[in-house]
Structure 1
Amino acid sequence: MTAARRTLTQMLASAEMARAFTLTVLLAVFSSFAIVRMSGMATLSTIIVVLCVIGLAILFVRREELSLLRIAPTSLVAFLLWTLASTFWSTEAGDTLRGWAALFGFAFLAVTVGHIRDTLQTVRALGDTLRVLLGISLGLEIFSGILIDTPIRVLGIQGNLAIGGPVQGIFGSRNMLGFIAVIALVTFVIERRSQSVSNTVAIPSIALAGMLALFSASPTVIVLALAVGIATAALAVVRHARPERRSALQWTMGAAVVAALTISFVLRHRIIAWLDAGSDFSTRADLWNALLDQWARRPVHGWGWFGPWQTDEFPFNAINYFTRDQHRTALNAYFDTLLQVGAVGFALIVLVGGIALVRSWLVASVRRSVVYAWTPLLLVTLGVESMFESFTLSGAGWFLLVLCALRAGQSRSWRENIDAAHTGTIPTLPPGVTS
């Protein structure tokens, strides 16, 4: 091995490279809307491709610490293969391949980050990233809405801060800002509880995320905050319960969740009225009815994977025609999956999130460190948000889902038993390589 090759290998395998790569990935993923609006889709695509190449090089030099069985959850691999297979029956194979490439690219970046950073390191990197991006969002909203009182159209900022919102920040819509703010709140609170940052950093960060969640005026923020609050309380009860009582407690909570979902469905009209989201829900109801009509024509395999809709392609143009609107998604990740990759794809994506939630919840309920609560709480946020938006199927939402699924599988998986049977130990870094 030449000196230059040895130096490159050591750099790629270093802890400093892992941290720099993770921060760069997170900044690119969560800034994707702003990058596209400022420089175009070609710029974002180039950034993602370059990061994937670097990530592949990092995984290659760290290959001794990896196990092929544990590289990614089986349900995730199955979903990616099914979406790729949808090219064969898609209405537009080229667009499906492009949509799948984006899906795979963000998933690969999430898998890479999941293998080179542990949970606490991931939480810290995400916290640092969101502090910067939310700070930039607030600064631009102040500049647009108060200082110059003029919209910044290139970023979709309407300049409504002075009248109390809604605001969008650099994320494109009030609902996306609200979603990111809730993710940030969970991350900042975990940082503070795990004492990985000082109170002088944690408290202003929590206040920033809370303020932007409020000014986003997104009706989904209330539902997300309520769901995360209930999940946090339930997890705290389980963590403090005596070990012999945890199993019965978990089953009781599971039954309570099913009952709560049933009651919520029965009382959905009152809940919508309470949230003052009637017209918003009416739009969604019309959209979903039109979507289900098209899904019924291909219920098993769907119309092919596109991700965000190609509005000039069938069946999306037909749905928009009947709703007299220009929707770019189904405003519901579950319905979007059902339409694009059918009942099979729907079952697979539910398995990805459901298995990850169960695994991470069980791990968080027995591990002492509060940092293990980050994964199940994020999965709850993603699952609830998916009822109102399709964020989980692309960009930052999809990245977080894959990262959480990988993290859950690393801690509690049948692969651990297979690895242990063959090696006797969990794979570690090669000599001379730090984490």
Structure 2
Amino acid sequence: MTSRPASLLAGWAIALVAAGDAVRYAVGYLGWGILCGVTLVAAIVVLVRARPRLATTPVALAMLLALALLSTIWAVAPLATLLGAALQLAMALAALLLAQLEPERLLTMLHRVLQGILVVSIAFELVVALAAGGRVYPLVPMPGVESYGPDSPAAFAWSRGLLLEGGRIQGIVGNANLLAMLALLALVLAACLAASGRLRAWPVWIVVPLVVLGLTRSATVLVALAVVAVVAVVLVAWRRLTPRAFRRSLAAAGVGLVVVGACVLVARDALLGLLGRDGDLTGRTDIWGLVVEQWLRSPVVGTGWVGYWPPFAEPYDDLAVLDGVVYLQAHSVVLDVLMQLGVVGLLVWIALQATTMVGAVRWLRAAPAGDVALRAAPVLVLVALLAQGLAESRPLIELGFVLLAAFAWRLPARSRTPREVVA
């Protein structure tokens, strides 16, 4: 896929799935749905012209999509599940569109879009802090909310206007944790592109995500950053050390992780306090308990795929309500997949993660000397998404799922014959 319109469409698709919340806050779910529909039609036109071989679809990905659609049969909310499965299929098509790009081009485009979102987010927060001097709520109320007022919960705010007060910022995506995750992905890509000599003015593009990470102070993403850093060191050792030295280094790193993990557990409350969190991980443990109860009602095949919980369907509309705020996710990829698709779905999800990671590692292993840093990017991105999934369900939808599926298509775990490779 080399035409400029097709490449621009791919870039727009990345922006739409990376900053979908910003679009929904600005034009509402109806406007967002229209934009997604138009984008999907355009993507289908491009794909028809590109003629990708659907027979090369990763088995685990095909099984996950099929299971999501089939779960409509036994779902507790059939219409919501049908909608969730349709959205997941649409995201898979977006991933197939991105998979038409050469991996290097995809990573470069992804970096540009993410850095753009970060820059716009900082500008947005600055304008809100200077002009509004307080909270700014979505222009179009979210489903279930009639209107916003001075007494509306802070969790509903698009921005709390805290940039100049030293508080956490939320950016155009309206959520500090989501913005921090975009910053982490941008940092990973900037570092890999810079190390491979493919990024001009690289100090600027390293500093921008670091600044955003500092302004968001997301505990989840800071943990993900630490995990990514450890994996990056392991990858460097893998490429540079002899097999024997690498095994020793890996064992030492494993021991170090255990020691660090033990220290974190012992000092958990103090560390969370520094980040403005409480000991129950800001209500996550309560939500996890409620989700487990729901999963136990149908442990094998789950309650039906919905992706992010729909606020208009039972039991998701009031499954997790804390301090008057309805939470629409399990805050854990594992628990969300378990609840929605049961043990069967979780096994398929694990298979998709594993085979995609194998494909990314194979692509890295085959890298010429000058491309090693760049080819490490998919591995590190996948690790970051896995770490995020420990405390957030976001990797199940939008950017997280689209990247997972795109890498699964473009970097297969098994070798393909020349005919099977999408040009």
Q: Scaled by the length of structure 2, what TM-score is found?
A: 0.86
Deviations 1:176-203 (A, max 9, x none): 11111101111111221222221x2x22
2:87 and 2:310 map into 1 onto residues whose CA distance is 14
Secondary structure of the 1:354 match is: helix
- AA matched with 1:383: L
1:340 matched to 2:343? The reply is: no
The change in CA–CA distance for 1:413 and 1:217 in structure 2 (over 3 A counts) is same
What SS does structure 1 have at the residue aligned with 2:328?
Answer: coil
Give the match for residue 296 of structure 1.
Answer: 296
Residue 185 of structure 1 corresponds to: 187
RMSD: 2.7
Give the whole-Å Cα distance in 2 for the aligned partners of 1:365 and 1:50. 39
- Matching residue of 1:168: 170
Match of 2:123 in 1: 139
Contact in 1 for aligned 2:64/2:349 (Cα 8 Å): yes
8 Å CA contact retained: 1:235, 1:365: no
Which residue number corresponds to residue 432 of structure 1? Answer: none
CA distance 1:59–1:372, shift in 2 (3 Å):
same
| Counterparts of 1:358 and 1:254, CA distance in 2 | 21
Deviations 1:314-367 (Å, cap 9, x if unpaired)? 443563269975211011111111111111111111111122123312432441
Aligned residues: 399
Instruction: Give the whole-Å Cα distance in 1 for the aligned partners of 2:346 and 2:323.
Output: 24
Distance 1:25 1:324, change over 3 A: closer
The unaligned stretches of length 5 or more in structure 1 are: 1-12, 430-434
Unaligned 5+ segments in structure 2 are 140-157
- Aligned 8 A contact 1:35 1:44 in 2: yes
Q: CA, structure 1 residues 321+188, in 2 after alignment: closer, same or farther (shift >3 Å)? A: closer
* CA–CA distance in structure 2, aligned partners of residues 285 and 118 of structure 1: 41
Conserved? CA contact 2:299–2:342, under 8 Å: yes
Give 2:147's aligned residue.
none
- Counterpart of 1:385 in structure 2: which amino acid? Q
Q: Answer yes or no: is 1:24 the counterpart of 2:12.
A: yes
8 Å CA contact 2:309–2:317 kept in 1: the answer is: no
1: distance between equivalents of 2:225 and 2:256? 20
Q: 2:271 aligns with which of 271, 274, 297?
A: 274
- Superposition map of 1:197-346 within 5 A: 197-198=199-200, 200=201, 202-242=202-242, 245=243, 249=246, 253=250, 260=257, 264=261, 268=265, 270-271=267-268, 273-276=270-273, 277-281=277-281, 283-311=283-311, 313-317=313-317, 319-320=319-320, 326-346=326-346
1:380 counterpart = 2:364: no
Decide whether aligned partners of structure 1 residues 382 and 85 sit closer, same or farther in structure 2, where only a CA change above 3 A counts.
same
Cα-to-partner distance string for 1:107-126 (whole Å, 9 max, x where unaligned): 21011111x21111011111
Q: CA deviation at 1:52?
A: 2.2
> Alignment partner of 2:309: what SS?
coil
In structure 2, how many angstroms separate the alpha carbons of the residues matched to 1:311 and 1:39?
Answer: 18
Give the TM-score taking structure 1 as reference length: 0.84
Residue in 2 that maps onto 1:105: 90
Following the alignment from structure 2 to structure 1, what is the Cα–Cα distance between the partners of residues 259 and 59?
Answer: 30
Alignment of 1:4-19 (within 5 A): 14-19=2-7
Q: Which residue of 2 aligns with 1:398?
A: 401
Q: How far off is 1:258 after superposition? A: 9.7
C-alpha distance in 2 between matches for 1:105 and 1:254? 42
CA deviations on 1:298-322 (whole Å, 9 max, x unpaired) are 1001111111113454443563269
CA spacing shift, 1:287–1:48, aligned 2, 3 Å: same
Alignment of 1:53-92 (within 5 A): 53-63=41-51, 66-70=52-56, 72-92=57-77
